[in-house]
Amino acid sequence: MTSSNLDLSANDAPDAPVFVSSETAAAVFQWLPAVRALQETYARPLGPQAVPRRTIAAGAAERASLRTMTAVPPGSRYYGAKLMGMAFGPAGRQLEYAVVLFDATTGSLAAIVDGNLVTAYRTAATSAAALDRLAPPGAARLAVLGSGLEARMHTLAIAAVRELQEIRIYSPTPAKRAAFADALGSELGVHAYAVDSPAEAVGGADIVLAAARSYGEKPILHGAWLASHATVVSIGSTLPDQREVDSSVVALASLVVCDNVEEVLEESGDMLAAHRDGVEPDAKCVSLNDLMSGKVTASRREGDVAMYKSVGSGLQDVVVAGMILDLARAAGLATPLPIRFETKRIG
């Protein structure tokens, strides 16, 4: 049982609400505990209202939007929501994230957590949780398409669940991909090197990470490049107008695991394009909950390609932010908030 899991016998007075900064999150975060916490949570039955679909409110005149992702994870001490606010100002587009956590034992506000790093941590840790069940055990060669924050976080998360023999990296800017390879190689102690094309990175790789949507929203990964046994992790296409993997990748995969099947099929640009191109992904898409609970097995025939497709979920935000909150409190790094909420009591 993880530290964030619900203690049904708890009857303590609620702790004062705290703020957890991104600096504190970085100081206390641990990859493998996050992966295991997500695997444990997704293995439990999820009620029909536990993870509602995300909502987006937008004002055209104000050029602002608010995305809300809520969840009540089964067995967790915390429930809550991630809020993502975006606006266009004098300096261009600006985004801020906040994860608001409530204590399930008291109903009281527990914390406000800066969600910027939490978002990157939870996406990567969930991908690693899925990959740990999808990819064959043993050392692996990793191809990384991208050199940004998500590419880095995912590589670190994957290294927590698989021994990496080598890492091949492609992104459009030669200097960025070279610097990224040098940094990863030093951090992980693995031979990491930049290559000149995505096909060169992907060819022969056991695990393929697609974490860099292209300019113009054209696919960056094609099925013809994949080894017959590859496991693909795709995280970049989360909205209808976004593209990352070509329809040939979806056609080639024998199994597509989704963190949210409905949102992947109905809101991911890659799956919408696959439908238009005559590929029918619905029959091969299964939920991460079904995979972790054992309802669906990850057994693969020789030569089968498997894929994990992510659009993100409030459940992931709450589980990872809750783990970070517990670690920050234990380390004395959470900042008490000088506030008190009125509690409404019913009955």
Q: Which of 245, 255, 190, 201 is nearest to 223 (CA)?
A: 245
Q: How far apart are CA 330 and CA 58, in angstroms?
A: 39
pLDDT at residue 13, as a whole number:
57
Element (H, E) at 276: helix 269-276
**10 Å Cβ neighbour count for 26?**
11
Q: Is the pLDDT reported for residue 11 higher than 50? A: no
Instruction: Read off the pLDDT of residues 115-146 as tens digits, 9 standing for 90 and up.
Output: 999 999 999 999 999 999 999 999 999 999 99
The pLDDT assigned to 82 comes to 98
148-165 pLDDT, tens digit per residue, is: 999 999 999 999 999 999
Q: Give the burial class of 285: count Cβ atoms within 10 A of its Cβ; 0-12 exposed, 13-18 middle, 19 or more buried.
A: buried
Please state, in angstroms and rounded to a whole number, the distance separating the CA atoms of residues 326 and 259.
Answer: 25
- Domain boundaries along the sequence of the chain: 18-119+314-336, 135-309
Q: Is 0.85 topped by the overall pTM?
A: yes
18-119+314-336, CATH topology level: ornithine cyclodeaminase, domain 1 (3.30.1780)
Reading the block at residue 184, the tokens are: 């990863």
> What pLDDT, on a 0 to 100 scale, did the predictor assign at position 294?
92
For the beta sheet containing 18-20, the strands, ordered from the edge strand earlier in sequence to the opposite edge, are 55-59, 64-71, 78-89, 92-103, 109-114, 18-20, 335-336
Task: Identify which of 325, 4, 305, 34 has the alpha carbon closest to the alpha carbon of residue 153.
Answer: 34
In this predicted model, what pLDDT tens digit does every residue of 228-284 receive, in sequence order? 999 999 998 888 888 999 999 999 999 999 999 999 999 899 999 999 999 988 989
Nearest residue to 166 via CA among 136, 196, 134, 188: 188
pLDDT on residue 10: 43
Fold entry, domain 135-309: Rossmann fold (3.40.50)
CB-based contact 328:15 (threshold 8 Å): no
